[in-house]
Amino acid sequence: MLGSFLDYLRFEKRFSEHTIKAYKIDLSEFVLFAEINTISDFSSISSSFVRSWIVELIENKLKAKSVNRKLAALRTFYKWLRKEEIIQTNPMTKVKGPKNEKRLPCFAKESELHSSKLDLVFDDNEKGIMDRLMMEMFYQTGIRLSELINLKKADVSNGKIKVLGKRNKERLIPVSNDLINLLNQFYMIQSSDKKQSEYVFCRKNGQKLYPTFVYRRINYYLSLATSLDKKSPHILRHSFATHMLNRGAGIETLKDLLGHANLSATQIYTHNSFAQLNSIYKQSHPRG
């Protein structure tokens, strides 16, 4: 039933496979809730019925962010139904989701990610150098987990990396000489199969890494280097953004580096930046 819509997301909208999988799950849950048997049944769905689905999701302790993600999938689907002239009216135009809880991004302190401290937690062998390179790549560029896994050797050149982000949107990120030197050191000690791979980070057979492998390695080293409760590659992305703002980077520049489509997604980091300014003020001003 949903096959044509998923192909539309994949080939016309150019959504990532991760997003397509999530949309498929969300829509399948709605189909089950609404007891829909054919695609034409969607025309009988009213906005009040969609709201009843929202109520059930919330009663099942689903967070507002997750509810809104499911509604986003349903909105996109109904827009496609209208585009294909399968339905005449779109019930989603009168549906609003719950307000998302505003939470500040969690990030590490600059001192916790200082090179001198990280030197102590990584081994000086191929495995240790690869782990160090992954961690530095996350922290120095702010890339996402999926972007690191898919990074190819050809994407690194002339002091920058080319990243293929969400919806296949390309962006260029400058990298430091230290990171390039670490990358070259990593290339030199790789096994022959890995050297022939097109990916920067790969398994013994030359294939790209699994997300869970990268997550576990970063989680392990963040446990050694920081006192954070949350320890994931995304924490390093948050740390990159926060530290850039604290050191004077412009919000527009940060938006481009992070690959955000809208400035509103980047502005959440300004709260952390203000918190840093407030802390400095209280420590420095005689009336603080």
Catalytic residues: 144, 166, 234, 237, 260, 269
Q: How distant is the alpha carbon of residue 230 from its chain centre? A: 15
Using alpha carbons only, give the angle 222, 146, 208 rounded to the nearest 5 degrees. 95
Query: Residue with structure tokens 């430091």?
Result: 176
Taking Cα atoms as reference points, which of 228, 255, 227, 226 lies closest to residue 241?
A: 255
Bridge partners (DSSP) of residue 170 are: 164
Query: Phi-psi category of 158—alpha, beta or left, where left has phi over 0 and alpha has psi -120 to 50?
Result: left
Query: Residue with structure tokens 């240790």?
Result: 128
Q: Hey, what are 96's tokens?
A: 């609003």
Query: Residue with structure tokens 């199969």?
Result: 193
Q: Are 138 and 236 in contact (CB under 8 A)?
A: yes
The sign of the CA dihedral 63, 66, 68, 71 is negative
